[in-house]
Amino acid sequence: MSIKVRIPTPLQKHTNNQAEVSVDASDVKGLIEALEKDFPGIKDRICEKDGKVRRFINIYVNEEDIRFLQRDATSLKDGDEISIIPAIAGGQDIAGGAS
């Protein structure tokens, strides 16, 4: 099944600057593995060493956060759109300053 994945700007250096890629997968776990196969190194950016999605990155199936579905066991169907969305702050790393 071909699943469309939106890649956030900070991860696009792994996807040759593509903002959207398509992979074959039947669940979220398989999707992350498929992304890693096509774009080596991307899994490390999305997941902790234990394979869990990092706590400042969310994965959405259409509009739904997988943490409130079946996490990486969430199944996917043809036509689903996946978004990987990291927390963004902006600005300089100086506490008390502004973006």
Partner 1 sequence: MNLTDAQIERYSRQLILPNIGGKGQERLLKARVLVVGAGGLGSPALLYLASAGIGKIGIVDSDKVELNNLQRQIAHSTNTVGMPKVDSAKKTLNAINPEIEIITYNLRITSANITDIIKDYDIVVDGSDNFPTRFLVNDACVLAKKPLSHGGIFRFDGQAITILPGESACYRCLFPEPPPPGLVPSCQEAGILGVVAGIIGTIQANEVLKYILGTGDLLTGRLLIFNALDSSFRQVKVPKDPNCPVCGKNPSVTKL
71, 75, 17, 42: CA torsion to nearest 10: 50
Q: Which of positions 7-46 make contact with partner 1 (CB under 8 A)?
A: 8-10, 19
Which residues have CB under 8 Å from 16's CB, separation 6+? none
Q: Is 94 in the site for partner 1 (CB under 8 A)?
A: yes
Phi and psi based region of residue 50 (left: phi greater than 0; alpha: psi -120 to 50; beta: remaining) = alpha
Burial class, 74, CB count within 10 angstroms (exposed 0-12 / middle 13-18 / buried 19+): buried
Selected range binding partner 1 among 22-30, 35-43, 71-79, 85-93, rule: CB under 8 A: 85-93
CB of 93 to partner 1, least distance (A): 5
Site string for partner 1, 55-84 (x = CB under 8 A): xxxx-x--xxx-xx--------------x-
The residue ranges that bind partner 1 (CB under 8 A) are: 8-10, 19, 54-58, 60, 63-65, 67-68, 83, 85-99
